[in-house]
Amino acid sequence: MSNSLVAMPAIPDIVIGRLPLYLRALIYMKNQGQLTTSSNELGRRLGMSSAQIRKDLSHFGEFGKQGTGYHINYLVDQLRQILKLDQEWRVAVIGAGFLGHALANYNGFIHRGFHISWIFDSDITKVGEDMGGVVVQPMDELEETIAREGTQIALLAVPAERAQAVTDRLVKTGVQAILNYAPINLTVPPDVQVGYSDPVVQLQHMTYYLDASRS
């Protein structure tokens, strides 16, 4: 597949958002020693229809064959390329509290395209502390470091009341993608992406299926 296909503009964002789920499931199968899979199997694993999966993947080319299904290694490589994960993205964590600590020590980033490279905090008692191999820097070095390193991705782990002000600084310095852990909506220019990490959204999905009378 060529890069011109990757840059095709008409692919709905909701489709892009499902590709990482396919990738995660495929890598899980790969690690189990599996070589091929089908849209049916992927669908069962992800709770989606096989037709949806085939349709999503068809936006990017012809990955499977009727009868033989998908070659897992090949599809993993293609999805990594589409999602630009054939490089490692260096990520800045803002906030060295409990959550920043947890993120710095999270080992789910490894081999999945990301590396926590910087941690910033405004609390000078935290500056200099080693978190998962990264030394906490003072917030007043934020702009210089991010501009110098060309950092495009930040994890925002600051209290809700500081989240917008920090976001404004990140955006001004060239950060293009923010994953926000604070329970507030952020305002950013249209060319900056914000993701929200919100456990409540996932819990509210699950309560639909729970027995309310038991609780």
Q: With CB under 8 A as the contact rule, which of the stretches 34-42, 119-127, 162-170, 195-203 interacts with its own copies?
A: 195-203
Selected from 48, 129, 138, 169, the binder of its own copies by CB under 8 A is: 48
Do 155 and 179 contact (CB within 8 A), yes or no? yes
Q: What are the DSSP calls for 117-159, one per residue?
A: EEEEES-TTTTT-EETTEEEEEGGGHHHHHHHHT--EEEE-S-
Q: With CB under 8 A as the contact rule, which of the stretches 34-42, 48-56, 137-145, 165-173 interacts with its own copies?
A: 48-56
183 touching its own copies, by CB under 8 A: yes
Selected from 2, 8, 9, 14, the binder of its own copies by CB under 8 A is: 14
Nearest-approach distance from CB 208 to its own copies, in angstroms: 5
Structure tokens at 208: 């639909």
43 touching its own copies, by CB under 8 A: no
Count of residues interacting with its own copies (CB under 8 A)? 69
Selected from 28, 44, 55, 187, the binder of its own copies by CB under 8 A is: 28
Selected from 13, 67, 68, 133, the binder of its own copies by CB under 8 A is: 13
User: By CB under 8 A, what part of segment 68-97 binds its own copies?
Assistant: 82-85, 87, 89-91, 97
Do 67 and 109 contact (CB within 8 A), yes or no? no
Do 184 and 164 contact (CB within 8 A), yes or no? yes
Structure tokens at 10: 């008409």
Selected from 38, 71, 109, 173, the binder of its own copies by CB under 8 A is: 109
133 touching its own copies, by CB under 8 A: no
Q: List CB contacts of 100: < 8 A, sequence separation 6 or more.
A: 93, 94, 119, 121, 131, 157
Helices (H), 32-67: 39-46, 50-58
Do 83 and 20 contact (CB within 8 A), yes or no? yes
Residue 207 is given by DSSP the state: H
Q: State how far the Cα of 57 lies from the Cα of 54, in Å rounded to an integer.
A: 5
Nearest-approach distance from CB 151 to its own copies, in angstroms: 8
- Other C-beta atoms closer than 10 Å to the C-beta of 175 total 22
Nearer to its own copies, 17 or 128 (CB): 17
Binding residues (CB under 8 A) for its own copies: these are 12-14, 16-17, 19-21, 23-24, 28, 47-49, 52, 82-85, 87, 89-91, 97-99, 101-103, 105-109, 112-114, 150, 152-153, 155, 157, 160, 176-177, 179, 182-183, 185, 193, 195, 197-212, 214-215
